[in-house]
Amino acid sequence: MRYLLGKKVGMTQYIDDKGTVQAATVIEAGPCFVTQVKDNQPATFQIGFSVLKKANKPISNHLKEKKLKSLKEFKYDEDNQEIYQLNQSVDLSIFDQKKPLMITGISKGKGFAGTVKRHNYAIGPMSHGSKSHRRPGSTGSMYPQRAVKGRKLPGRMGTDKTTIKNMKALNIEADKNLLIVSGSVPGNKGSLLIIKQA
């Protein structure tokens, strides 16, 4: 597995060679820098993205050369053993445009939501006699006198770690550090994304 960190720039329209227009997301991916390599089992490496203007003491002591904002740790395997070496710069050139991508990010927060919006519950009758238009209804039997853990009820919606698999790379511009993928990816504009390719 090959890894890269990026930032969501926004959505746009992409026109391919056949003239087909499709929705696309632009991601500023890399350059990332390998900041740490651990030899323990399992062996891991840490990559960083987005240079800081001013770094505090813990970051300055950990990162001697480049002060980076976002740090993530991944496992070593046979596929990435040669690519990720200490103090090495990694960019979009490690990805193959023909192979699918996996993109992970934090989804947009929706705030406190009811069961109809959060869990796709059906609404009740909207006539005058009904008193349960958008209510959740029964929450279970009398025993055990509490809401059972995992019950689909109103609550905070969004801000979940979400992974989109089998994403198609429409265009890779390694010189500009831009990756254009088909469809949407989780998160707001400017949010951190983890891009993986098997």
Return the structure tokens found at 81: 């053993």
The share of the chain scoring above pLDDT 70, in percent, equals: 100
Local structure of residue 164 (DSSP, 8 states) = E
Token pair 């490690």 is at which residue?
Answer: 94
User: pLDDT by residue (tens digit) across 151-182?
Assistant: 999 999 999 999 999 999 999 998 999 999 99
User: pLDDT by residue (tens digit) across 27-40?
Assistant: 999 899 998 888 88
User: pLDDT by residue (tens digit) across 17-64?
Assistant: 889 999 999 999 989 999 888 888 888 999 999 888 888 888 888 887
Question: How many beta carbons lie within 10 A of that of residue 44, not counting itself?
Answer: 15
CB distance 47 to 34 below 8 Å = yes
Question: How many beta carbons lie within 10 A of that of residue 98, not counting itself?
Answer: 7
Which residue segments constitute the domains of the chain, with CATH numbers given? 2-109+158-197 (2.40.30.10), 113-156 (no CATH)
